[in-house]
Chain A
Amino acid sequence: MSGPNVLEVRGLSARIAGQEVVHDVSFEVPASGVTAVLGRNGVGKTSTLRAILGLVERSGEVLLDGVRVDGERTDRIVRRGVGYVPEDREVFAGLTVSENLRLAERRAGSGGSRAARSGTTAHGTTPARRELVDALFPDLVKRAGQRAGTLSGGQQQMVSLARALLNDNRILLVDEPTKGLAPRIVTEVAETLATAARTVPVLLVEQNLQVVERLAERVVVIDAGRVVHTGPARELLDDPELVQRLLGVSAGSAGETGVAR
């Protein structure tokens, strides 16, 4: 049923408070590997992800496994197998780690016959997924009873990643997972994403070019709410002039936060 692309975005626009911040954006995400979304601050990367999920007012087409989902509510789209790791983690500060994770668990096949009718297949939590999460985040197992609001930024990011990895998703949308983290933690997060990306395609918004280099096969560059470049990650990263022009940074200087390779 699914073509080569797990996600297709066609002519997507997004409005926030009446103002269009994403204009006519189109790109594809192949069914494996990491596709990175790059761009300066405030160009509309987060809004693009939120528009895909229906979290902001949007127009245009979004196809998941070839099925139009742009008319659906956020929770329906997510139950079709979209894992979301938002910018700034958005863990529930007042809930414990285990409550955060429990909330994210979706029953495989939730939606039942209704799901079958609408062509949704089950993308829920499985025992194998729980084991994977426990293995990836032993620290969270230890801190199960701790309030998420009292965790460090890196630990909160792990909770946010774990929430997405608990389910058998078709795709992960991950928004700046290394933002504001210490270099060692950046490496850890990148490793976790690399592991995840072996089993599920990832659309990754990321500013740290070393992380992009480590993880991404393809890049989509956004500027002022429009796609200005798409192509293999290598091609962009090997062209300092292009990097400078599109992202306003030099590829060399992007990596004060070292990432083990």
Chain B
Amino acid sequence: MSTVILLLATGLGLGGLYFLVASGLSLIYGLMGVLNFAHGSFLTLGAFVGLAAGNLVGAGTWGGLLLGLLVGALTGAAAATATELGLIRPLYNRHIEQVLVTVGLSLATVALFEGIWGPNPRNVTRTDWLASTTDVLGAHVPNTAFLNVLAAAAVLGGIVAFLRYTRYGLIIRAGVENRAMVTALGIDVRQAFTLVFAVGGAAAGLGGVLATQSLNYVSPHMGASLLIFAFIVTVIGGMGSLTGAAVASVVVAVLQQLANFYLNNTGDLIVVLLLALVLLVRPSGLMGRPA
């Protein structure tokens, strides 16, 4: 029983990280039709810069962590905004070229990060509480899981409120449905493009700092490995569906944890099988609109 609880809790925590990456991917794809392969780099950069900022206040302190999360999010947002304005916008409506540019950027930035911070993972210093566990019905649940779930829920709530109650949110929702018609109403939809990149980048940067707390290290490759699962989550949830991404994040991560424990470390395999199954049965994903 306590094992199941532990696996569910760590699955939820991991799902929170997936969602922080997948939410941006899904928004960007839904509105712009661009698969953003550079999204993992926003996460990695957010993690390194966020941690460095936190260390200025004090490694392993709450103040340092809070500043790190803030700076991580801002870094992710800034990197994403620069990417959209500098590389994506000039290729307006040329989706294949846009995707290729993000692939190139992701490769180049990983090499750059390795050059700056070295290729190997570095340990991080966490607060005592984050480095320990909490007893839940006999299971020793890592406290980072709670933090991840809390952050993911806050980001989900924030994005939903943004989409529902602001004019830009309205433009984004309409643009996901029918981008051409949004421009035909006199709206410069490119501003909304920049905005979803910024919001997605912020969530990824935040996720980067959080991931360092769960993994207990920071590395130039952490973005790339999380990105793979975030893509799978996005496809399973339905490209462009935020709720779908949230549900799929939890499903994928929990399934992965359970399979890793009970089925001989086959978590990744099971996830890929789930992906194949969803693509066969519901090609547009759990909550995506049929193409």
Chain B interface size, as a band, is 10 to 19
- A106 proximal to B (CB < 8 A): yes
Residues of A within 8 A of B115 (CB): none
- A254 proximal to B (CB < 8 A): no
Determine how close the nearest CB of chain A comes to the CB of B32; give it in whole angstroms: 16
Q: Which of A79-116 contact B (CB under 8 A)?
A: 79, 84, 86, 90, 92-95, 99, 102-104, 106, 110
Determine how close the nearest CB of chain A comes to the CB of B154; give it in whole angstroms: 25
- B90 proximal to A (CB < 8 A): no
Q: In the bound complex, do residue A92 and residue B177 qualify as a contact, i.e. CB atoms below 8 Å apart? A: yes
Q: In the bound complex, do residue A94 and residue B177 qualify as a contact, i.e. CB atoms below 8 Å apart? A: yes
Q: In the bound complex, do residue A75 and residue B189 qualify as a contact, i.e. CB atoms below 8 Å apart? A: yes
Q: In the bound complex, do residue A53 and residue B184 qualify as a contact, i.e. CB atoms below 8 Å apart? A: yes
Q: In the bound complex, do residue B171 and residue A103 qualify as a contact, i.e. CB atoms below 8 Å apart? A: yes
Q: In the bound complex, do residue B170 and residue A104 qualify as a contact, i.e. CB atoms below 8 Å apart? A: no
Q: In the bound complex, do residue B188 and residue A75 qualify as a contact, i.e. CB atoms below 8 Å apart? A: yes
C-beta contact mask, A130-170 vs B, less than 8 Å → 1, else 0?
00000000000000000000000000000000010001000
Assembled-state Cα–Cα distance A86/B181 (Å)? 9
Assembled-state Cα–Cα distance A73/B182 (Å)? 12
Interface SS majority for chain B: helix
Chain A interface size, as a band, is 20 to 34
Q: In the bound complex, do residue A78 and residue B185 qualify as a contact, i.e. CB atoms below 8 Å apart? A: yes
Contact pick for A92, options B181, B186, B189, CB 8 Å: B181
Question: Which residue of A is nearest B184, CB measured?
Answer: A84
Assembled-state Cα–Cα distance A8/B290 (Å)? 40
Determine how close the nearest CB of chain B comes to the CB of A50; give it in whole angstroms: 9
Residues of A within 8 A of B187 (CB): 75, 103
Q: Which of B157-192 contact A (CB under 8 A)?
A: 167, 170-171, 173-174, 177-178, 180-189
Residues of A within 8 A of B186 (CB): 75, 78-79, 106, 110, 167
Question: Which residue of A is nearest B186, CB measured?
Answer: A78
Residues of A within 8 A of B183 (CB): 55, 73-75, 78
Residues of B within 8 A of A55 (CB): 180, 183-184
Give me the interface of B with A, judged by CB distance under 8 Å.
167, 170-171, 173-174, 177-178, 180-189
For the A-B complex with A55-B180, A75-B183, A75-B188 known, give 17 more contacts whose Cβ atoms are closer than 8 Å: A73-B183, A74-B180, A75-B184, A75-B187, A78-B184, A78-B186, A86-B184, A92-B181, A95-B177, A99-B174, A102-B167, A102-B170, A103-B174, A103-B182, A106-B185, A110-B186, A163-B185
